[in-house]
């Protein structure tokens, strides 16, 4: 929850100061320092304090990085950032686990994490300070610094205004991720106890999801660079509907082979929902860092709440009952449909979007066969 508050605060501050590159650098450097500090923890209290600091520092750069990716690369910039995040999550999880397993030392895993943030900081030093437009906006901020009321009226929206203008996106994402977090809280236990999978098989299941996300985002969704704001709604809707399908498949899992198609659909659905939401927020809001950081804050909050609810539900009703959380995705589907207002046009455009995705997927598959 500390991380969620950090996302919002520093995303808001990034928009106010218009210094995205600086916040990215500060965030990565501060995170590197804090993760190195994990090796200094000697009891529960010191570890608690360090974890709080980690929540704060990892929230510094998120909103600024999203806004920077959009300003420099537009839609493709956001898609590429999201795809690299997916493959980075996979590499980081596997490598840190491997380091701990081979060495038997958790400290090396924290050193590895800190080094990854330090590498990110070094890379950020090669990011230019910005184009002329960004510099003009910084100059305008400094010029209006003595007249904050006028500056705020012309350049900023309140958090309430941003949430109100994008309520259906945030609500949909919260419900989807709440259901997902409920599932992830018991998923490894479910796979081991009820399906009899070993550690290697469970790891491969998670890898299928991450690899699918990376390939779908980088190969298919980058072809959607010219979609307009209205079509972003349809991408979100398609992602929500396919997420509901995933959790319905989870509820009916009985073997390892059943998991493979479910994980592929999961990777595609997350790509559509996450990237579609980011594109809508980046294209539809002037306060891009704030709008993006609010979405990241919702993800963090849903992970906490979903884990608690998933544990309670599993304790009282069994592991498989948690998988019924796909019902939350159906509610989310209705919310986004209402938020999109014209449902008939929405369904028609969504069908067109499905055909576009299928055509793009076939083109990618054909190219891979030639290779």
234-263 pLDDT, tens digit each: 888 888 888 888 878 887 778 888 889 989
Distance CA 278, CA 290 (A): 12
Higher pLDDT, 268 or 352: 268
Residue 367, pLDDT > 70, answer no
Compute the average pLDDT of residues 11-17: 92
Question: Which pLDDT band holds residue 30 (cuts at 50, 70, 90)?
Answer: very high
pLDDT in tens, 324-335: 766 676 777 777
> How many CA within 13 A on the CB side of residue 336?
32
Count how many residues are written for the chain.
371
Task: Give me the pLDDT at residue 37, please.
Answer: 93
d(CA 179, CA 240): 12
Higher-pLDDT residue of 171, 146: 171
Per-residue pLDDT reduced to its tens digit, 107-154: 888 899 999 999 999 999 988 766 535 554 554 545 455 444 444 444
Q: What is the mean pLDDT of residues 216-234?
A: 74
CA–CA separation, 364 vs 27, rounded Å? Answer: 36
Q: Is the pLDDT of residue 224 over 90?
A: no
What pLDDT is recorded for position 341?
A: 54
For the whole model, what pTM was predicted?
Answer: 0.82
315 versus 118: the higher-pLDDT residue is 118
pLDDT value for 180: 86
Out of 184-188, 317-321, 356-360, the most confident range is 184-188
| Whole-number Å distance between alpha carbons of 328 and 178 | 8
Query: How many Å apart are CA 357 and CA 77, to the nearest integer?
Result: 19
| pLDDT > 80? residue 353 | no
- Say how far apart CA 330 and CA 139 lie, in whole Å: 47
Q: Is the pLDDT of residue 156 over 70?
A: no
227: pLDDT confidence band, cut at 50, 70 and 90? low
**Rounded CA gap, 269 and 220, in Å?**
13
The answer to whether residue 366 scores a pLDDT higher than 80 is no
Give the per-residue pLDDT at 148. 47
Q: What is the pLDDT of residue 225?
A: 63
pLDDT band of residue 199 (cuts 50, 70, 90) is confident
Residue 216: DSSP 8-state: I
- For the segment(s) 2-370, the CATH number from 3.40.50.300, 3.40.50.12240, 1.20.1250.20, 3.40.50.1980 is 1.20.1250.20
Would you give the DSSP letter of residue 59? T
Every domain of the chain and the residues it spans:
2-370
Higher pLDDT: 365 or 257? It is 257
pLDDT for residue 33: 95
Best CA proximity match to 209, nearest among 179, 237, 250, 252 = 250
**Per-residue confidence (pLDDT) for residue 179, from 0 to 100:** 84
pLDDT in tens, 265-303: 999 999 999 998 999 999 888 999 999 999 999 999 999
Looking at residue 74, its pLDDT comes to 83
- CA nearest 180: which of 89, 45, 273, 98? 273
**Angstrom distance (rounded) from CA 236 to CA 172:** 9
Residue 200: CA count within 13 A, CB half-sphere:
0
Statement: residue 350 has pLDDT above 90: no
Rounded CA-CA distance 88/117 in Å is 12
Does residue 46 or residue 75 have the better pLDDT? Answer: 46
DSSP-assigned states of every residue in 250-298:
HHT--SHHHHHHHHHHHHHHHHHHHHHHHHHHHHH-S-HHHHHHHHHHH
Reference 168, options 303, 8, 343; nearest CA is 343
The C-alpha angle with vertex 358 and arms to 342 and 89, in degrees rounded to 5, equals 95
- Cα 247 to the center of its chain, rounded Å: 19
User: Rounded to whole angstroms, what are the CA distances from 117 to 6, 106, 149?
Assistant: 17, 17, 37
**pLDDT value, residue 264:** 93
Burial 308-331 (b: 16+ CB within 10 A, else e): ebbeebbeeeebeebbbbbebbbe
Comparing C-alpha atoms, which of 315, 323, 91 is closest to residue 195?
323
For residue 346, how many other CB atoms are within 10 A of its CB? 18
Q: Tell me the pLDDT of the chain averaged across its residues.
A: 81
pLDDT tens digits along 56-74: 999 999 999 999 999 988 8
pLDDT band of 369, cuts 50, 70, 90: low
């Amino acid at each position: 929850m500390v991380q969620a508050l950090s996302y919002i605060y520093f995303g808001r501050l990034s928009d106010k100061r218009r210094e995205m590159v600086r916040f990215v650098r500060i965030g990565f450097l501060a995170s590197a320092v804090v993760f190195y500090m994990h090796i200094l923890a000697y009891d529960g209290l010191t570890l608690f304090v360090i974890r709080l600091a980690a929540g704060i520092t990892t929230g510094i750069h998120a909103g600024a990085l999203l806004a920077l990716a959009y300003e420099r690369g537009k839609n493709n910039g956001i898609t590429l950032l999201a795809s690299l995040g997916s493959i980075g999550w996979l590499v980081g999880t596997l490598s840190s686990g491997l380091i701990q397993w081979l060495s038997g030392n958790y400290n090396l895993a924290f050193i590895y994490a800190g080094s990854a943030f330090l590498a990110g900081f070094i890379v950020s030093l090669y990011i230019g300070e910005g184009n002329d437009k960004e510099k003009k906006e910084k100059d305008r901020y400094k010029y209006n610094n003595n007249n904050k009321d006028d500056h705020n009226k012309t350049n900023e929206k309140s958090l309430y205004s941003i949430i109100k203008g994008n309520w259906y996106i945030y609500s949909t994402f919260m419900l989807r991720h709440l259901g997902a977090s409920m599932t992830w809280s018991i998923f490894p236990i479910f796979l081991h106890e009820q399906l009899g999978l070993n550690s290697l098989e469970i790891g491969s299941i998670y890898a299928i999801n991450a690899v699918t996300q990376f390939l779908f985002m980088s190969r298919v969704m980058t072809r959607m660079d010219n979609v307009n704001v209205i079509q972003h709604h349809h991408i979100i809707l398609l992602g929500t509907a396919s997420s509901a399908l995933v959790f319905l498949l989870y509820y009916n899992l009985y073997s390892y082979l059943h998991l493979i198609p479910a994980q592929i659909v999961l990777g595609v659905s997350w790509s559509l929902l996450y990237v579609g939401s980011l594109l809508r927020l980046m294209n539809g809001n002037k306060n891009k860092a704030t709008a993006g950081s609010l979405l990241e804050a919702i993800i963090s909050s849903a992970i906490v709440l979903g884990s608690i609810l998933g544990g309670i539900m599993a304790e009282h009703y069994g592991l498989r009952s948690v998988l019924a959380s796909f019902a939350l995705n159906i509610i989310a589907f209705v919310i986004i449909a209402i938020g999109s207002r014209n449902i008939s046009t929405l369904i028609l455009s969504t069908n067109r979007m499905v055909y576009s995705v299928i055509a793009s997927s076939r083109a990618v598959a054909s190219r891979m066969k030639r290779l």
